[in-house]
Amino acid sequence: MPHPMGFAPPPPEVMAVTLTVNGVETTLQVAPWTSLLDALRLHLDLTGTKKGCDHGQCGACTVLVDGRRINSCLTLAVMQDGRSVTTIEGLASGDTLHPLQKAFVENDAFQCGYCTPGQICSAAGLLAEGKAKTDDDIRELMSGNLCRCGAYPNIVKAIRQVMGEGGA
């Protein structure tokens, strides 16, 4: 059968990708279709980042790439070659929680906790962007993170608390 592309490049089963994940440089061998999310969870065993929908519709997979929040389910690991990724596992310094982690605990900003890693990484991105001024801004700019337990009011409180402390 002729190759559907009209030419037949030898398909590389795996490709080398170098990522700096939570400060540690790692080179992985991944198939081109491996999402960044699957690379983190399945190849690096960093299961803090959650898979909710796998279609960009819930925000559970939110991580920071070069400091910006993105949905790790809708990008390929190979597309992020050479970049720095921060996951929920990389936010605390040793035993000292990140201010957002502390604020989420203090404000009871979760119930089951499934959305929480994505919420916290997203909130870290939001603080870095510096666009949110009011609670309504926080709600709008956090709308990419769904919480099926409905912890929204306390999530807003936690983020506002950290904003009030002058960011993270």
Partner 1 sequence: MRAFTYSRADTVEDAVRALAGNPDARFVAGGTNLLDLMKADAMRPAHLVDISRLPLDRIEETEDGGLRLGALARNADTAWDERVRSRYPMLSKAILAGASAQLRNMATNGGNLLQRTRCYYFYDSGTPCNKREPGSGCGALTGVNRIHAILGASEHCIAVHPSDLCVALAALEATVRVTGPRGERTIPFAEFHRLPGDTPHIDTTLGADEIVTAIDLPARGFAEHSTYLKVRDRASYAFALVSVAAALEIEGGTIRAARLALGGVAHKPWRDTEAEAMLVGKPAEAASFAAAAQAVLRGAKGHAHNAFKIPLAERAIVRALSEAAGVQTP
Ligand X SMILES: Cc1cc2nc3c(=O)[nH]c(=O)nc-3n(C[C@H](O)[C@H](O)[C@H](O)COP(=O)(O)OP(=O)(O)OC[C@H]3O[C@@H](n4cnc5c(N)ncnc54)[C@H](O)[C@@H]3O)c2cc1C
Q: Compare residues 56 and 153 and give the one whose CB is closer to ligand FES.
A: 56
The reply to whether 57 sits near ligand X by the rule CB under 6 A is: yes
Question: How near is the Cβ of 146 to ligand FES at its closest, in Å?
Answer: 7
Beta bridge partners of 24: 21
Task: Classify residue 150 as left (phi > 0), alpha (psi -120 to 50) or beta.
Answer: left
The reply to whether 143 sits near ligand FES by the rule CB under 6 A is: no
CB 100 within 8 A of CB 36: no
CB 78 within 8 A of CB 30: yes
The reply to whether 61 sits near ligand FES by the rule CB under 6 A is: yes
In the complex, residue closest to ligand X by CB:
56
Q: Compare residues 66 and 106 and give the one whose CB is closer to partner 1.
A: 66
Question: How near is the Cβ of 71 to ligand X at its closest, in Å?
Answer: 8
Question: How near is the Cβ of 60 to partner 1 at its closest, in Å?
Answer: 11
Rounded to whole angstroms, the Cα distance separating 66 from 10 reads 32
Measured in degrees and rounded to the nearest 5, phi and psi for residue 122 equal: -65, -45
DSSP 8-class letter at 79: G
Q: Compare residues 117 and 125 and give the one whose CB is closer to partner 1.
A: 125
The reply to whether 111 sits near ligand FES by the rule CB under 6 A is: yes
CB 109 within 8 A of CB 154: yes
Binding residues for ligand X (CB under 6 A): 56-57
